[in-house]
């Protein structure tokens, strides 16, 4: 018997929503982290240092290259070389122009994806405390 049939028999209308809600965290956990995510099967990030306390990596995006959908744990980012990225997340899509030397801190990102829509190479240094 399928779940929807069971709901009809038991007159439980909220059960499918509960099952869907329970599945959502599992779907998010299936997303790659930023180092594992790539672009068309090719890596865009390289780990520079990793130990039990920190992971430091660099991501490089030539024009027209992006970063497939991924999540981020808490991290600090520094723009080694700036440019214009199109970023899509749960809020929508926006274009962000980063200046070389700019930086940011994030408590984590459930998911996003990006594409270099500018004419310069964009590169980041990312630091994740563990």
pLDDT, position 25 = 44
Q: Which residues of 40-73 are buried (b: 16+ CB within 10 A; e: fewer)?
A: eeeebbeeeeeeeeebebbbbbeeebbbbebbbe
Residues of the chain with CATH 2.60.120.10: 38-129
Which CATH superfamily groups domain 38-129?
Jelly Rolls (2.60.120.10)
pTM, whole model, 2 decimals?
0.76
Tell me which of 13 and 129 has the higher pLDDT.
Answer: 129
Note the pLDDT tens digit of each residue in 57-96: 999 999 999 999 999 999 999 999 999 999 999 999 999 9
pLDDT, position 29 = 57
pLDDT, position 21 = 44
Q: What is the mean pLDDT of the chain?
A: 86
32's enclosing H/E stretch is: none
CB atoms within 10 A of CB 113: 17
């Amino acid at each position: 018997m399928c779940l929807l049939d069971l709901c009809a028999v038991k007159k439980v209308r909220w059960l499918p929503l509960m099952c869907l809600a329970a599945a959502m965290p599992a779907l998010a956990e299936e997303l790659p982290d930023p180092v594992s995510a790539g672009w068309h099967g090719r890596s865009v990030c390289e780990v520079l240092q990793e130990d039990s306390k920190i992971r430091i990596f660099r991501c490089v995006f030539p024009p027209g290259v992006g970063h497939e959908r991924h999540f981020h744990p808490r991290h600090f980012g520094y723009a080694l070389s700036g440019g214009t990225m199109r970023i899509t997340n749960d809020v929508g899509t926006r274009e962000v122009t980063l200046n070389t030397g700019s930086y940011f801190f994030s408590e984590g990102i459930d998911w996003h994806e990006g594409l270099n829509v500018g004419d310069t190479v964009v590169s980041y240094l990312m630091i994740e405390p563990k």
